[in-house]
Structure 1
Amino acid sequence: MTTYKRILVGIDGSNEAEAALRRAIRIAKTNEAVLGIGFVADLRRIAPLIDYEQTYAKKAKAYGEELIEIYANEAKHAGIKQVETFVHFGTPKATMVHKIAKEFKADLIIVGATGLTATEQMLIGSVTEYIARHAPCDVIIVHGKSWNERKDI
């Protein structure tokens, strides 16, 4: 069985990403691995709104940093000794694979299954699919429970 030493999980606050984080924590703990937690603020959606770019960028960065802090604390509370965090701007799929995974030197990336509709996937493409196809390492795709299956709603 492969032993992973540098596990990267991509998060965005979705149910799928939270399921991926829980899986990453379990695998990192079992392998005594370093856990990387990455968040990418997608700036493509605000291109037509240049006047609001600075405000959005600040809010997106603050949201990402807050989310990362919560998840890093959760990982540390679960017994992960080393946690590295990343907050970047850009296209999530390319930034996660070509910047964060390389910077972190990931040997495993864990991501949540896509939450996009078929139409959204056709228009902008699935982050999860891109990561699975282009990652320089192994990838695990985690499926979270749908909102109506969650017990904590």
Structure 2
Amino acid sequence: MVETYKNIAVAVDFSEKAKIAFERGVRIAKLTNATLHLVCVIDTHSFGSVEAYDLKYAKALKEKAVDHLKEFQEQAVQAGVANVQIIVEEGSPKVILTSLAESDLIIVGATGLNRAERFLLGSVSENVVRNAKCDVLVVR
């Protein structure tokens, strides 16, 4: 593992499992001297119809996500990770997380913020496991 990972992506939706994924990502990035990519996806598919979709709402969510990720970034740097990048995208988390070309490890929480998904392995994490072109670590 020490020589394998150079770009580690951690899916962050600010759930408890995502915090655990972040902590695991920090530890692995320190061990491997990898770049840690903190990835938050604003799920615009959950906004409903096009008429109800308000660009101001998405922009506010994106700004809030960046602010929170900057706190995570600071924690990672203080923990000894040399290179921490923030990525905030809009769209489908399933699609965006599996299309991170640079990543050689994706870390996701077993479940996210969606209560319905908590009954099984979260649908986002399941999709990432099935479709990612790199290693995936699902944390509980």
TM-score computed with the length of structure 2 as normaliser: 0.88
| 1:133 matches 2:130 | yes
Cα contact 2:111–2:117 (8 A) shared by 1: no
Give the CA deviation at 1:121. Answer: 7.5
Match of 2:34 in 1: 33
Match of 1:77 in 2: 78
Larger Cα Rg: Structure 1 or Structure 2?
1
Q: What is the alpha-carbon root mean square deviation over aligned residues?
A: 1.9
Equivalents in 1 of 2:23, 2:31: separation in Å?
Answer: 13
1:74-127 Cα offsets, whole Å, 9 max, x none, are 1101010011111000011111112xx11xx0110001111445x5589xx700
Equivalents in 2 of 1:50, 1:85: separation in Å?
Answer: 30
Unaligned runs of 5+ in 1: 144-153
SS at structure 2 position matched to 1:48: coil
Give the CA deviation at 1:55. Answer: 2.3
Runs (4 or more) in structure 1 with deviation over 2 Å come to 47-52, 119-122
Give the CA deviation at 1:11. Answer: 0.1
Give the CA deviation at 1:47. Answer: 2.8
1:112-150 Cα offsets, whole Å, 9 max, x none, are 111445x5589xx7000000111110000011xxxxxxx
Higher helix share: 1
Equivalents in 2 of 1:121, 1:26: separation in Å?
Answer: 26
Read off the aligned partner of 1:20 and give its amino acid letter: A
Identity in percent: 38
Give the CA deviation at 1:3. Answer: 2.5
Equivalents in 2 of 1:3, 1:134: separation in Å?
Answer: 20
Distance 1:121 1:15, change over 3 A: closer
Match of 1:59 in 2: 60
Unaligned runs of 5+ in 2: none
Equivalents in 2 of 1:92, 1:45: separation in Å?
Answer: 11
